[in-house]
Amino acid sequence: MAIRARQISDARAKSSVRMNRTYMTKFNELNLNPKVLKAIEEAGYETPTPIQEGAIPAALEGRDVLGIAQTGTGKTASFTLPMITLLARGRARARMPRSLVLCPTRELAAQVAENFDTYAKHLKLTKALLIGGVSFKEQDALIDRGVDVLIATPGRLLDHFERGKLLLTGVQIMVVDEADRMLDMGFIPDIERIFSLTPFTRQTLFFSATMASEIERITDTFLSAPTRVEVARQATASETIEQGVVMFKGGRRDREASQKRNVLRALIDAEGEKCTNAIIFCNRKTDVDICAKSLKKYGYDAAAIHGDLDQSQRTKTLDGFRDGSLRLLVASDVAARGLDVPSVSHVINFDVPGHPEDYVHRIGRTGRAGREGKAITICSSRDEKALAAVEKLIQKEIPRLDSPIKTEEPKADAPKPERKPRTRSTEPKVAPETKPAHEPKSAPETKTRTRDRKPSGGRGKDSGGRSVVGMGDHLPSFIALSFDERRTG
């Protein structure tokens, strides 16, 4: 009855909060657990971001929350902090987690797990991370002991459920993070199935950077009178990010990719010391590998990360980028929403993303937590339509930048000899001689000589009476005999 009464009260008090003002409160004013506040203070934070200021109080009241904000605004802490406070009391049972956080990628799931470790270090809460690339046996052992917080990607979560190793009937709080990315990756059917496996009395915290029609349908279906917290206009980039685009026109098709990589290297060199580190985004995994190898070939500190790499290699690469030992990270969109590196100075789009929303998420890797950042996009002639779609989404024109590679002016050719002006002859033209249409073909020269030969003046003489140079003294005697003499002889 109490749950039903709360739902009715929530439905009557349905609200929408738009947080476009400056930070006004402190964390100690948000009714968080004192041990959580202590962890926040040790992490060096004092003032909540707008999304945190709007979402945390509603979540602590047990309300459903629909949070809309671009990346880099503190969405992860806006649900981890109230979850830890609400879960501080109670104990998990085996194979029945008390809360569930769904993330689209392994990297984002690992980031959420790190946030829980940071903010729950003074509380005895257990967690499990269910992602691909890790042994099922290790994950099963964690689930069997019982966990308060289960962080998972949709595919691996359903794998455990179908193997009978996991029950979701004890979930009290369910979080869907980066819902629009779930839509792009085709996870919406899995999300709907997971919702159906959890109790309808659960509290749902739903976060997304954009609100497509399919996302709105899910929120209308599975959220009960949510508090809508929108900290900025949908699909907008942070104002702290300086944006620019370099229009690139390649030459021959077989040389275009190489020329584009030349532009990339020139951009990095032009930024100089300002580019302390950068994430370079490519649309295709093959281009990620090629681009990373090319940069390393020319002496740049670069490494690749995409979905086809082993999880251990991806983790090692990300750790190197976070601790500063790796300067350039060449990535596919798998990393666009899973990296929380506050000090990324630059984002370079080697390709214009095919989906305009991905542009917002890519450049959101820089300019985080109020810092300044720079995002540069290389746009070839074939990507101009995609660039126009991006500008339409963010409702602003991206400034055009000069190409860092200056094309040399063509050298002056040697002076050509002056042409004499053509003068029209005044002499009458003589028509060329024409051969008769049915003129017989001339016979070979030898036959012509035989045919036109005149009768000779005698044996061994030509028509002029001169001796014919022939066999001479070497004439065989039998040839000189007459025919009758040859027969009688």
350/225 same-domain check: no
Per-residue pLDDT at 255: 85
Give a yes or no: residue 312 inside a domain.
Answer: yes
Residues 184 and 318 in one domain: no
In a domain, 85, yes or no: yes
Is 421's pLDDT higher than 80?
Answer: no
Same domain, yes or no: 138 and 279:
no
In angstroms, the CA 148 to CA 169 distance is 13
Note whether 176 and 265 are same-domain residues: no
Segment 425-466, tens digit of pLDDT: 555 555 555 455 455 555 445 444 444 555 555 555 555 555
Of 235-239, 338-342, 464-468, the one with minimum mean pLDDT is: 464-468
DSSP state of 98: S
What is the rounded average pLDDT of the residues 94-112? Answer: 92
Please classify residue 186 by burial: count the beta carbons closer than 10 Å to its beta carbon, then call 0-12 exposed, 13-18 middle and 19+ buried: exposed
Tell me whether strands 373-380 and 328-331 are parallel, antiparallel or unpaired: unpaired
Nearest to 341 by CA among 49, 110, 80, 54: 110
Q: Give the mean model confidence (pLDDT) for residues 85-103.
A: 92
C-alpha to C-alpha distance for 174 and 100, rounded to whole angstroms: 5
- Sign, CA dihedral 49-51-57-59, equals negative
In a domain, residue 246? The reply is yes
| Pairwise CA distance, residues 329 & 318, whole Å | 8
Instruction: Read off the amino acid at residue 150.
Output: L
Verify that 54 and 173 share a domain, yes or no.
Answer: yes
Among 336, 366, 401, identify where a domain stops.
401
Please give the average per-residue pLDDT across 236-264, as a whole number: 87
C-alpha–C-alpha distance, residues 101 and 174, integer Å: 6
Question: How many domains does the chain contain in total?
Answer: 2
Token look-up 């017989």 returns: 440
For residue 179, give the 3-state DSSP assignment. helix
Residue 415 is which amino acid? P
Tracing tokens 């690139």 back to the chain, one arrives at 248
**Are 144 and 277 found together in one domain?**
no
Closest Cα partner for 66 from 240, 195, 203?
Answer: 203
Record the tokens describing residue 246, joined without a space: 């370099």
Q: Is the residue at 410 inside a domain? A: no
> Is there a single domain that holds both residue 171 and residue 143?
yes
Return the CATH number at 274. Answer: 3.40.50.300
CA 303 to chain centroid, in Å, comes to 15
Residue 236 falls within a domain, yes or no? Answer: no
Nearest to 71 by CA among 210, 185, 206: 210
Indicate the SS3 state at residue 206: strand
Nearest to 363 by CA among 350, 352, 348: 348
Q: Look at residues 401, 430, 461 and tell me which one is the last residue of a structural domain.
A: 401
Same domain, 338 and 195: no
Q: What are phi and psi of 284, to 5 degrees?
A: -115, 150
Strand order, beta sheet including 328-331:
302-305, 328-331, 278-281, 346-349, 373-380, 241-248, 400-401
Residue 475 lies in a domain: no
Residue position matching structure tokens 């739903």: 206
Residue 358's pLDDT is what? Answer: 83
Which pLDDT value is given to residue 328? 95
Asked if residue 461 is part of any domain, the answer here is no
**Domain-embedded: residue 320:** yes
Q: Are residues 224 and 279 both part of a single domain?
A: no
Helix, strand, coil % (nearest 5) of the chain? Answer: 40, 15, 45
Sign of CA dihedral 364, 366, 371, 376: negative
Do 70 and 166 fall into the same domain?
A: yes
Please determine, for residue 191, whether its predicted confidence score (pLDDT) is greater than 50: yes
Same domain, 251 and 175: no
Question: d(Cα 282, Cα 291) in Å, to the nearest integer?
Answer: 8
Range of weakest confidence among 70-84, 165-179, 294-308: 70-84
Taking the C-alpha atoms of residue 209 and residue 10, their distance in angstroms, rounded to an integer, is: 24
Q: Which of 348, 372, 401 is the last residue of a domain?
A: 401
> Computed from CA positions of residues 54, 58, 60, 63, in that sequence, does the dihedral angle turn out positive or negative?
negative
pLDDT of residue 26 exceeding 50 = yes
Same domain membership, residue 283 and residue 191: no
Q: Are 281 and 333 in contact (CB under 8 A)?
A: yes
Residue 380: give the domain boundaries.
241-401
